[in-house]
Amino acid sequence: MKVRKGGNHAWLRPLLIVGILLPLIGRGGEVTALTRSEENTIRVFKSVSGGVVNITTTSISRDFFFNPIPSEGSGSGVIVDSRGNIVTSFHVVSGSSSLEVTLADGSRWQARIVSSSRENDLAVIKIDAPPDQLKPVSLGSSKSLRVGQKVLAVGNPFGLGQTLTTGTISSLGRDVKISGDSVIRDVIQADAAINPGNSGGPLINSEGEVVGINTAIFSPTGTSVGIGFAIPADTVRRVLPGLVSLWPKLLSWVVAVVLVGLFIWWFWRRLTVPYRRDWH
């Protein structure tokens, strides 16, 4: 009688290989899967990036012989309405002789300065692009911001348009000296990487709302060290109507003149009461 030393187990080998590879494939899937935070970042960038523009400025200086020397700079801005009004930083457009705006779709448009607020480092420029090419951003509120809250910055650092960086709010209510004796009050400090060219771009919360306009960095090297500053959205909201239209300014002047006139009339009446009594 022959003794069988072993059965035919060749079918077990493929099964064993599959059993070993399945866990590895599963782990690989977990590594490449997006987290909730990453999905939110991608969604917010897609929803806001169309409203962020790149600004190229040209300034003219003179050499010793008064020959014109053009120089270029760059910055960022956010579209605030379908009429082509764009909010940016005052120092981005100050002193420029010409402005060119590049939209997210790559089209380029000549721009002009509408108005500016040096004390708030804000300016409004305008382009005559068709409304269907303009993607206005949603301006949120900065009143409820908290230290540690996630924020995103989109802009044009070093001329590299549509650049996204992420970080958190590091502090609130800062006072920042930007140039000479110019101090901006109550600004937002964030650690999202902000470099030259980011100025005028938006600081965005997880809901896709603009909560600030990036304005300056603190850096001994001139590049990002993780300390950036933004003008709060509530300041932008307060200043914006007067920058976009002259009517609020004119109306405020009219009201001020009327109030001053009424006060002078009342004061004059009070002063002349004794004389009027004597006259009668």
DSSP, collapsed to helix, strand or coil, labels residue 137 as coil
200 neighbors 210 (Cβ within 8 angstroms): no
- How far is CA 59 from each of CA 95, 132, 155, 233, rounded to the nearest angstrom? 7, 31, 21, 29
* Cα-to-chain-centroid distance, residue 136: 12
Phi, psi (rounded to 5 degrees) for 213: -115, 115
Instruction: List the catalytic residues.
Output: 91, 121, 199
CA distance 126 to 109: 10
Phi, psi (rounded to 5 degrees) for 50: -65, -20
The amino acid sitting at 260 is: V
Candidates 16, 43, 34; CA nearest to 164 is 43
Radius of gyration of the chain (CA): 30
190 neighbors 147 (Cβ within 8 angstroms): no
